[in-house]
Structure formats: C-alpha cells, structure tokens
Amino acid sequence: MSASAQVKRISVPDIAARKGQEPVVVLTAYSVSMATLLDDHCDCLLVGDSLGMVLYGLDSTLPVTLDMMINHGAAVVRGSSKACVVVDLPWASYQESPAQAFRNAARVLAETGASAVKLEGGEEMAETVEFLVRRGIPVMGHVGLTPQAVNALGGYRARGRSDAEQAKILGDAKAIAEAGAFAIVVEGVVEPLARQITEQVPVVTIGIGASAACDGQVLVTDDMLGLFAGFTPKFVKRYAEIGEQVSQAAASYAADVRARAFPGPAHLFGVKKG
C-alpha cells in the first residue's frame, strides 16, 4: 500500500467538529500540482468557481460550467490525500429547484470523489440545502458577498454596512445552518457582523474578508501567492510574490536561449561509443 493510500482524508464530520476549536485552514485549488503542494497544510481544499476568473480570464464566475467544476474538482482530488475537498456548484446549476440541485450535486460527488459541495445564498436556498443534506450530500453554505449574485448586488462591495443588511445576512446564515449545512463561508462583510454570525450559528464559519473570530479562513491561493499583478483585494495578505519570480525566470530563460547559452553541454545527449 502506498504512503498516500495510508493517509486518512479529513472528513466532513471532522470539519464540523471544529466549531470553536483550532481554526480550519482552507485554500482554493484547481489543479493536481497545486493540490499536491497545499495538501499537507490545509484542512480543506475548495475548488471554487473563482477558477473562471483566475484560470480562464472571465469577468465573473457566472459563465463557469458544471463540466469545468467537475474536471478541476477531479484533478484536486487526485492531487490530494489528506484535505477535505469541497467543490462549488456553479451559477444556474442549483437555483432552479432542489431536484436540479440534487442531480448536479450528485454528479459532482460521483465524478470527482469530493466530499461536499458549496452553494451560495441564504434563506431562499435553505429548502435546497435541507433537500440535499437529507439525501446524503454534505453542503457548505456561503453568505454575505456572494459572487454569483454580483449583478443583483451591484458589484463586489463589502456587505453589512446598514442595519437592514446586517439583519438579512445574519438571518441567511441562521437559515442555512438550520437547514443542515456543516459549514458556512462568510465573505466580504463588516467585521462585527462576521463575529456575530460566528457566535450565533452552531456551525463552522469560514471567513474571507470577514473576521479573525471566524472558525476558519479561506483565500484564493493565487491571490495569496501573488501569482498575478494588479488589483489585490483589501482582505488578501500576500505571503509570496511568485508572479515576479515566474517573470524573472522566464526573462533569464529567454536571455539564455537568445544567447545560445541554453541548452549547454550538461543538458545534451552525447553518442555512446562501443
């Protein structure tokens, strides 16, 4: 038996049991190679529909398809052995009805080997969350700034600045928790609201642009690593500037090729005598 086969993957109940305990570490992953690099350090790998913008250069997550999520989800499962893998359900793959959500969520789990799905929305999605959970599909919720609702929300601004908005988001989180979600991503909300949600819902909260008081944190890995130049969201801490290193390495390679310094003798095959 291989070493990887002996590793026990972190389960949904393991994550659910972390409420109020050691914070849950979550990062996004979209490929075998990145999943392999992150696996030892993360409790959960999220195959987010953010891949549409990060990998495909789309303007939003809305054009992401179910097939895209399944292909990348399967890759992340193959590249990991320890972390719990959660796959986003993309826009329009679950909002129509609980039955539609079940068909597509079941396909995601069957074809990727992931442990759970994530969907966005609050009270309006509670019936769907309950429908899935009662049929054996673990669900991670997502409230606050929900990127799939960018058109309805009018952009990516922080949420919860008014009393009415705070009450709505808190009610959404409570409804999703009551429906049976094992964890809830709380994104882009004012800090006191994220703290209040964490205190008042009985399930694990995963913050992103929320509060250190949440039961865990998630970032888009490419943001965290500085893999591209340009706008960096306020809530992102860059732990490396890999993009600059890639560019510098490519420049060095290009210079060597143009100077005929690469390949050198150490990189070439000679003729064997005899």
In a domain, 270, yes or no: no
In a domain, 125, yes or no: yes
In a domain, 241, yes or no: no
Distance CA 175, CA 259 (A): 64
**CATH assignment of the domain containing 203:** 3.20.20.60
In a domain, 262, yes or no: no
In a domain, 25, yes or no: yes
pLDDT at site 2: 45
Q: Is 120 annotated as a binding residue?
A: yes
Q: Which domain holds residue 26?
A: 3-225
Q: Which of 78, 55, 80 is nearest to 65 (CA)?
A: 55
Q: Is 118 annotated as a binding residue?
A: yes
Contact 38, 27 (CB under 8 A): yes
For the chain, the domain total comes to 1
Q: Is 39 annotated as a binding residue?
A: no
- To the question of pTM greater than 0.75 for the whole model, the response is yes
In a domain, 236, yes or no: no
In a domain, 117, yes or no: yes
Distance CA 72, CA 28 (A): 11
The one catalytic residue in 130, 187, 191, 199 is 187
In a domain, 260, yes or no: no
Judge whether 187 counts as a catalytic residue.
Answer: yes
In tens digits, the chain (274 residues) has pLDDT values of 444 457 899 999 999 999 999 999 999 999 999 999 999 999 999 999 999 999 999 999 999 999 999 999 999 999 999 999 999 999 999 999 999 999 999 999 999 999 999 999 999 999 999 999 999 999 999 999 998 987 777 666 788 899 999 999 999 999 999 999 999 999 999 999 999 999 999 999 999 999 999 999 999 999 999 998 766 788 899 999 999 999 999 999 999 999 999 999 999 998 888 6
